[in-house]
Structure 1
Amino acid sequence: MYAEHASTGWRLGSVALRYRQPSAGRGDWSRGGWAKVAGRFRSMLQSVGAAEDVPRGHGPVARSTRLARLEAVLFLSGGPQGSRKLAELACLEDGTRARTLVGALNRLYDTQGSAFRVEEVAGGFQLMTRPKFAPWLRRLHNATVEVRLSAPTMETLAVVAYRQPVLRAEIEAVRGVQCGEILRQLIERDLVRIAGRSEELGRPFLYGTTKQFLQ
């Protein structure tokens, strides 16, 4: 009984055997025959390289090396990571490869009925639990207290979110009241950040939302 996945050496050797022809002498092997073998070798090597991204082995927990590295990076990341950053941390070729593997990982999770899924959040990717497990997880962690914002704070945050990057003067013009203290509170809660400076006289601060706000 042959193994389901033959070794690369065996596979390449079998190609050479398939191209072997009866020969009276060493000189009868044509250049065309060698070209065919070389071309087939190149195709085989390319297919072996591409197969590294396909889960191997038996059972529902099969992982390729690259997929396992990406999964480990996502598991240990404290927040969303962009595709280029994921590629750098998981030793992948580029961000495109990272995105491709994120899709493969999600398909694997779906097939296994996993509690996890990689979601695109704030321009990056983050490993998260599925929403249907939220009620149980809240009980497990003693009902994590949600942050409640007052109506004026919510209004200020909404103006920043829709008009960012926005000046404090523009926020106050929309709301009709002073917003300095509210902006300070929103910055402390990591919902609003200073996004830069305006080119206007005095170069006042511009405000925008944070990744925490998008989560």
Structure 2
Amino acid sequence: MPSSLPGGQSAAHAWFQTPAGRAVVDAQASPVADALRQRPGQHWLWLGPGATAGPEDARGLRLAVAEGGWQGDIACSLPLPLPNESFATAVLQHAVPAGGEADALLAEVARILVPGGRVWMFVLNPLSPYRWRWRGTGLSAAEPLTWRRRLRRHGLVPDPVSQGVGPSWRVEAASPPQHGPGLRAAYLLQAEKRELPLTPLRQRAALRLPQGVPAA
């Protein structure tokens, strides 16, 4: 039986179990499935709201946002109790707990990803009219530029264009993801873990002595 953290799901993330919140999460089902299929035979991590079950794949770890951390097959908070460079894909679906530090989570994700591993991050869009439906819940939203800066700080190189997902205002099934966030309730931002190449040492130029001066 999955373990749980005291308090269970956070009050803020309980919004994703309301009809308005479910419409956002359900619209992300297809891209989440795409993410988990990207690296067959390699491990994936999926942090997200609610009790949505992951695929029957022993290589995956699905954890739900809870009060103070995440719960599922394990119950944990930061730092994640996972080995370095052990996952090829990380899905962060509205995964930062209320009051949690986004930078601390991204640092941990960068640590557990293999070089070339991918992050699929689903976040709320502060420019969407749908924001009035999560107003007062304690959920936070930020524009893509803010998240790109955070990702780069931890060696995660973001794709130049994000995808808008979910409804814009009505609580209904949304059309497929669109190019750019637009007015969609949320957007998908992908990034890749890249290691900085070692800089080769420059060879020093041979010392030229003026004519007539003997070398030592």
TM-score range, shorter chain: under 0.3
Which structure: larger Rg? Answer: 1
Higher relative contact order (CA 8 A, sep 6+): 2
